[in-house]
Amino acid sequence: MGAYLVRRVLYGFLVLLGVNLFTFFLFFTVNTPDDMARLNIGGKRVSQDQIQKWKAERGYDKPLYFNEKEQGSAKLTETIFWERSVSLFALKFGRADGEAGGDISHEIKTRMVASFLLALPTLILTVLVTVSFALLLTFFRNTVVDFWGVVLCVAMLSISALFYIIVGQFFFSKLMKLFPISGFSTGIDLVKFLVLPVVLSMLARLGGDARLNRAMFLEEISRDYVRTARAKGLSEIAVLFKHVLKNALIPIITNIGAYLPYVFMGSLVFESFFGIPGLGSYVIDAIGGQDFAIVRTMVFIGSVLYITSYILIDILYTVVDPRVRLA
């Protein structure tokens, strides 16, 4: 397993390097530092002095890839590429491009907590509800319960997450006044601000995840070992929980692993609509304000989290299924 993990880490590093290079070239091909200065200063008539001042304050007054005066190699550290791309691997994110120009690392540390508090309960609730609902449909397979359950899953799968947000805020916040329509707090008041976005986020994922889990359970329940378990006298509930669920854990873990980065990165849509000051809303604000320094940093962090999560998934495969060998 050790050799396999080393290879996966090396492959992951190459992927991360490629993503980092691609995003850097993409951003600075679309917009030059002068263009970025004009976007952030605002206004059509921006003087060259203002542009130079903005670039000097944020380190964009340096060459992009190499220092021409030093003929390339001697002063690589005095380039935008080094300070804005290579430095990401040392977790040095610098400052934002926006007018406030805040420290990106500080913002990430501050906002990560809010994203974690929203995404972790959502993940746990989604897994419990979708797996339970899928087991229920599997138990009543080929019945009217299964039929209408699948219809419900398809209907929910076809509805945008924005619909759940708008309808949920209208009924539960505006009409019934059970929860705040948006905002965030600390302490005991935190619960009332998180209940609605957590439940709505779970509902947005319920249809697709439950339908996927049901398909996996139905595939497992038709196997020979299940018929053998029934022949030994086990009840249908015991078969579902002791055998079917256990052998379907690998696809479930894969689905969970794909969601793990959101635990730290946050949900862009839900944080924005509910006014939660997490990393998701941070990215949305950066995109709206065309703050490329924040966007590049969040793309890098997201790539690291995805690579890490899939390595962890491979390790968990060996835990839930001893037959899996990492070679």
Q: Is pLDDT of 159 > 50?
A: yes
- CA of 278: how far to CAs of 107, 165, 262, 267, in Å? 9, 17, 11, 8
Span 98-118, pLDDT tens digits: 766 688 888 898 888 888 889
Q: How is domain 104-320 classified at the CATH fold level?
A: MetI-like fold (1.10.3720)
Give the residue-averaged pLDDT of 313-317: 82
Q: How far apart are CA 266 and CA 302, in angstroms?
A: 10
> What's residue 326's pLDDT?
67
Residue 91: closest CA among 25, 14, 16? 16
Least confident of 39-43, 172-176, 247-251: 39-43
Give the residue-averaged pLDDT of 144-168: 92
Q: How confident is the model at residue 75 (pLDDT cuts 50, 70, 90)?
A: low
Q: What is the DSSP string of 64-119?
A: SSSBGGGTBTTTGGGSHHHHHTGGGGGT---B-SSSS--BHHHHHHHHHHHHHHHH
Q: How confident is the model at residue 199 (pLDDT cuts 50, 70, 90)?
A: very high
Reported as half-sphere exposure (CB side, CA atoms, 13 A), residue 317 has a value of 17
User: Which run of H or of E encompasses 55?
Assistant: helix 48-58
Instruction: Report pTM.
Output: 0.81
Q: How confident is the model at residue 72 (pLDDT cuts 50, 70, 90)?
A: very low
Q: How confident is the model at residue 327 (pLDDT cuts 50, 70, 90)?
A: low
Residue 265: closest CA among 110, 114, 115? 115
Span 214-251, pLDDT tens digits: 998 998 888 888 888 888 888 888 888 888 888 888 88
- Cα 37 to chain centroid, rounded: 30
Residue 150: closest CA among 204, 201, 210? 210
Which sequence spans correspond to the domains of the chain? 2-90, 104-320
Q: How confident is the model at residue 68 (pLDDT cuts 50, 70, 90)?
A: low
Q: How far apart are CA 178 and CA 161, in angstroms?
A: 20
Task: Please classify residue 6 by burial: count the beta carbons closer than 10 Å to its beta carbon, then call 0-12 exposed, 13-18 middle and 19+ buried.
Answer: exposed
Please report, rounded to a whole number, the percentage of residues in the chain having pLDDT higher than 70.
Answer: 92
Give the residue-averaged pLDDT of 282-301: 85
Among positive and negative, which fits the CA dihedral 177, 180, 185, 191? positive
> What's residue 155's pLDDT?
93
> What's residue 154's pLDDT?
93
Give the residue-averaged pLDDT of 168-191: 88
Reported as half-sphere exposure (CB side, CA atoms, 13 A), residue 279 has a value of 26
> What's residue 74's pLDDT?
44
Per the rule left: phi > 0, alpha: psi between -120 and 50, beta: everything else, 157 is alpha
Q: Are 98 and 54 in contact (CB under 8 A)?
A: no
Task: Give the mean pLDDT of the chain.
Answer: 84
Q: Are 234 and 305 in contact (CB under 8 A)?
A: no
Q: Are 40 and 98 in contact (CB under 8 A)?
A: yes
Residue 214: closest CA among 245, 243, 238, 237? 245
Q: Is pLDDT of 284 > 90?
A: no
Q: How confident is the model at residue 130 (pLDDT cuts 50, 70, 90)?
A: very high
Most confident segment among 52-61, 121-130, 179-188: 121-130
Q: How far apart are CA 109 and CA 278, in angstroms?
A: 10
Give the residue-averaged pLDDT of 273-296: 85
> What's residue 170's pLDDT?
92
Number of Cβ atoms within 10 Å of the Cβ of 292: 23
- CA of 200: how far to CAs of 168, 249, 258, in Å? 7, 25, 19
Give the residue-averaged pLDDT of 115-132: 91
Number of Cβ atoms within 10 Å of the Cβ of 47: 10
